[in-house]
Amino acid sequence: MSEQENQLLERTTRITEWKGRYPVAMNFDEVGAQDRIIGHIAVSNVWPADDYTLLCQLYERAKVILLETMKNVPPLPADFNFQ
């Protein structure tokens, strides 16, 4: 993964954690167009277009790798002991 992709995933993680904890502002007077912690628009559910495009590309690359790995690595037996 490139440094840009690592930064994208870091931003996505922060946004997901923040929005999951605080989906709406507790005080309407505190709602602003820019989220100081995340750095993206906080009052919208729309992802920045560039980030969304890069996430889609990263997903497609990971999907190809995962499917290829699943072809080459045999599944664990049903009674596998995960200790």
Tell me the H-state helices in the chain: 3-21, 49-72
The whole domain housing 56 covers 3-72
Is the per-residue pLDDT at 29 higher than 90? no
Beta bridge partners of 41: 34
Residues 79 and 36: beta-carbon distance below 8 Å: no
Token pair 């989220």: residue:
35
Whether residue 27 is contained in a domain is answered as yes
Residue 76 C-alpha from the chain's centroid: 28
CA distance linking residue 64 with residue 62, whole number of Å: 5
**Could you tell me which residue, 57 or 20, shows the higher pLDDT?**
57
Whether residue 24 is contained in a domain is answered as yes
Is the per-residue pLDDT at 60 higher than 60? yes
Whether residue 22 is contained in a domain is answered as yes
**For 13-27, how does the pLDDT look when each residue is reduced to its tens digit (9 = 90+)?**
887 777 777 666 666
Whether residue 79 is contained in a domain is answered as no
> How many independent structural domains does the chain possess?
1
Whether residue 83 is contained in a domain is answered as no
pTM to 2 decimals? 0.57
